[in-house]
Amino acid sequence: MAQHSRIHVAHLMTSTGMVPLFYHGDIEVAKSIALACYKGGARLLEFTNRGDFAHEVFGALRKFCAVECPELALGVGSVTDAASASFYMMLGADFVVTPVLREDIAIVCNRRKVMWNPGCASLADICRAEELGAEVVKLFPGSVYGPGFVKGISGPQPWTSIMPTGGVSPDRDNLKGWFDAGVVCVGMGSKLISKELIASKNWDFLEQQTRETLALIKELRA
């Protein structure tokens, strides 16, 4: 079962401001990525459910992180149905991220009191997600909607917490645009954990970049 409560995960999202996310089929590579991000200060990590036998990698990664990264909330992304969400929660997922709003996923996550972040692409989606108990909604794909969409929502709904994913990069201008618009957190994938970085296994660089990105987010929010 989850090691971190949904309240704690929500706090980590709003306090650190970033969720690194990735998929890799090699468990040793996945462990190295998780450890590098953790050493760099990340306290959230999303493993995306995209490859064959992804659940096997996730299960092994969950056991590894419980020992080596005890303060890390490990979640699963790209979950598209309630059965998959339930299965990953059995494996210890601390939060569940979906590409679309699925009420069946909301029900199973709420039943277990596990944080879930539904992918939303309209104000109607966001309103329904909040009615179903979502603390932080995922704006996806973020690059399509942009900071202007977030800023527009903050007027009528200042209580809404948004995490854009897709098109978010660690450079200052990109992050400034999002946080100035009012996001509480960003999901960052290939711009942080690139295929080139993984191929070179430059884990020290990933650790450094994670640390610098978190510091930049803290500066921008201040």
Span 150-174, pLDDT tens digits: 999 988 999 999 999 998 999 999 9
Q: What is the mean pLDDT of residues 16-37?
A: 98
DSSP 9: H
Q: Is the pLDDT at 101 greater than 90, yes or no?
A: yes
Superfamily of domain 6-210: Aldolase class I (3.20.20.70)
Span 191-213, pLDDT tens digits: 999 999 999 999 999 999 999 99
- pLDDT for position 155: 87
Q: Where are the domains of the chain?
A: 6-210
Rounded-to-10 torsion of CA 132, 129, 164, 152: -130
What rounded mean pLDDT belongs to the chain?
Answer: 96
